[in-house]
A and B are shown apart, each in its own frame.
Chain A
Amino acid sequence: MMTPTAPQGTQFRRKIYYINPRFQGGAALGISAMVVAGGVLFGALVYRDVGNALWEAALRGHFVIDTPYEIVRDALLWHLAGLSATVSSLTVIVFLFLVKAVRIGVGRAIEAFRASEKGDLSTPVEAGGLKEFRRFGELVDLTRESALSRVAMLREEAASLAACGLPAEAFRPRWEELKRKIREVAP
């Protein structure tokens, strides 16, 4: 499906995969940390339970046992199921938190752009959450600040031109200069 913001009839092919170390790297690190923690916990529990099961079986070695797998099967399967369920659940929770953080950060930037449309270029974005979105919010603020300073400068220029009472030969060049500068707003 074409995105509504893409120009009609233009189909962009995804060739470049942009990597943002702070955003994608941070998410990958966060999830990987949980995988490592889950793995370590699994290893410790399996070592304890499987070790005990093997030791007990060794003491009862006169019973017919085909393979060690038969001895540890139940404990192993339980721990594998636990590892899978725990790590999956935690990761889904982390992903949902990530989505929420994106919503908060990007939502703030959207509000700032909408406020800018109404003329408010000075209220800061104050995007909380992830560092990446705080940085993005600062860039949005910088852009709005730059637009505001340009408009403010033009307003002063226009107001001074309206009240200057300059002779026609001095007035006209300033008039033309003001027009030129206005043309540079949001080029």
Chain B
Amino acid sequence: MNMPPPSHPEPLFEEGYRLRFILRLCLAFAAGTAALYAIFYFLLSRPLTGDYAGVFHALRNLSVFLRPVIAISVLVYVLLVCGAISALCVYGLHKVAGPLYRMERVMEEIREGTPTRTVSFREGDQIEPLARAFNGWIGKLRQDRQRWLAMMMDAERYCLQDDATCREKMEEAVRKVAEDMARYH
């Protein structure tokens, strides 16, 4: 059986978070482009002096050095922008990576049977509906556990009467518990 397609009305991302991230990306590119422009402007704004031959040779020399100049400029641009992008990805996307890591830790504790608290994310963290859905499931499981124990303890109260009634109620209780547990498949 396949799971139905995701149809959760709660947004996983805050609108502001996405816009801020895109804006920062654009700012990084704008800064990189400005740096690239500044390098070219600095290199190409030396005045051409002298007569026709002087200008001709200056421009010919510039053409010769154009390839390494462009290569170094592009390298500077790439390093600047990639550095900014890496920092942005680390500090921007940790609002998704952090909650995932937190969830993984809690799920690991659940698997190991360690007492676990409900998952709570930090201020500004994204994908919150995931924590709510997980807490909902664990909450339901805990409710069921309490109900099963309540059924068993309810049967134990009959032990104050005669042994036969006590036994009958206990067997009935475990039968009901087993039936109730059957809803998990």
Residues on A facing B (Cβ under 8 Å): 1-7, 10-12, 14, 16-20, 23-25, 27-28, 31-32, 35-36, 39-40, 42-43, 46-47, 50-51, 54-55, 57-59, 61-62, 65-69, 71-72, 76-77, 80, 83-84, 87-88, 91-92, 95, 99, 102-104, 106-117, 119-126, 132, 136, 139-140, 142-143, 146-148, 151-152, 154-155, 158-159, 161-162, 168, 171, 175, 178-179, 182-187
How many chain B residues touch the partner (CB < 8 A)? 111
Closest beta carbon of chain A to B82's beta carbon, Å:
4
Indicate whether A139 sits within 8 Å of B104 (C-beta atoms), given known contacts A3-B120, A68-B46, A155-B178: yes
Given contacts A54-B62, A58-B55, A136-B103, 9 further A-B contacts (CB under 8 A): A12-B122, A14-B124, A36-B82, A68-B44, A120-B185, A140-B107, A154-B177, A168-B163, A185-B142
Most chain A beta-carbon neighbours within 10 Å: one of B41, B78, B103, B184:
B184
Is chain B's interface secondary structure helix, strand, loop, or mixed overall? helix
Q: Which residue of A lies closest to B103 (CB)?
A: A136
Q: Complex formed: what's the CA distance from A115 to B55 in Å?
A: 77
- Asked if B63 contacts A54 (CB within 8 A), the reply is yes
- Asked if A126 contacts B174 (CB within 8 A), the reply is no
| Complex contacts, B130 vs chain A, CB 8 Å | 106, 109-110, 113
